[in-house]
Amino acid sequence: MQYRMHPLISCFPNKNFYHNKMLDATNVKGKSYKESYIPGTMYGPYSFINVFGGREEMDVASHSRRNMVEFAVTVRIVHKLFQAWNKSKEKLSIGVTSPYAAQVVAIQDKLRLENHEKVSVTVKSIDGFQGGEEDIIIVSTVRSNNDGSIGFFSSPQNTNVALTRARHCLWILGNERTLMSRNSVWRAIVCDSRDRQCFFSADEDGDLVEAIINVKKDLDQLEDLLHGESIVFKNARWKVIMLLRCYLSKFCYS
């Protein structure tokens, strides 16, 4: 019997890790347990958010991987939660987790000095979250490559820990193509999210598009967004062109 997770969160772990033997307690099935923190179906109890334009890179100092586009999207979602919860009288706990120390440190450094009276943010590795729980968990998978290598997440046990820390909302950020490349538990996660209509693309949220363009501009990688395979190029081409023109005009006349 599990008393922590919304049923939409427990569904996949129950089926794939617990052989459908885990039952949802009455408290997690009630209407009061379903919280809406940010408007839009993307930010429901369970979502896989496909993040385009990211490149995994090795941090020289820590010899660990990071993905600065996923970093930017994660931080923007946390800021959206700050804004949405600004006038609330209730407490909200957010957990941000990633299997890679370099990604964890980058997010920690960005959010370290940002305080919110009603919102607490904990940023830890997957191992660091073992045994813990938060109202919302945001998972940054980091991996974005052409050979489908997913490293730490090739272990079902590690994946299980990542997917079972949230109480009300679990939002997974990842590169669909990389995670689908091999016959792993992550292919099953992506397929399951599609089957349950819990699969979304970052370009469905204008704030996330802006965050991606900002970080790609800072990294001098704007050309990535104009590649024919880019999801944002296909589905939100007009947004990209307008924003790129804006940035280019500022650059040319600055």
Q: Is residue 81 part of a domain?
A: yes
Q: Please tell me the total count of domains within the chain.
A: 1
Distance CA 191, CA 16 (A): 13
Domain membership flag for residue 140: yes
Residue 242 lies in a domain: no
Domain range enclosing 135: 7-205
Tokens read off for 226: 């104009």
> Tokens 């129950």 identify what position?
14
Residue 141 in any domain: the answer is: yes
CATH of the domain at 55: 3.40.50.300
Regions of the chain with pLDDT less than 50:
228, 253-254
46-50 vs 166-174, strand pairing mode: parallel
What's the whole-model pTM score?
A: 0.90
pLDDT at residue 251, as a whole number: 53
Q: Residues near 102 by Cβ (< 8 Å), separated by ≥ 6?
A: 58, 59, 62, 64, 65, 66
pLDDT of residue 237: 55
Q: What pLDDT shows up at residue 31?
A: 84
User: Is residue 187 one of the residues assigned to a domain?
Assistant: yes
Q: What is the pLDDT of residue 228?
A: 47
Is 232 inside any structural domain?
no
Residue 223 falls within a domain, yes or no?
A: no
In the prediction, which pLDDT does 252 show?
A: 54
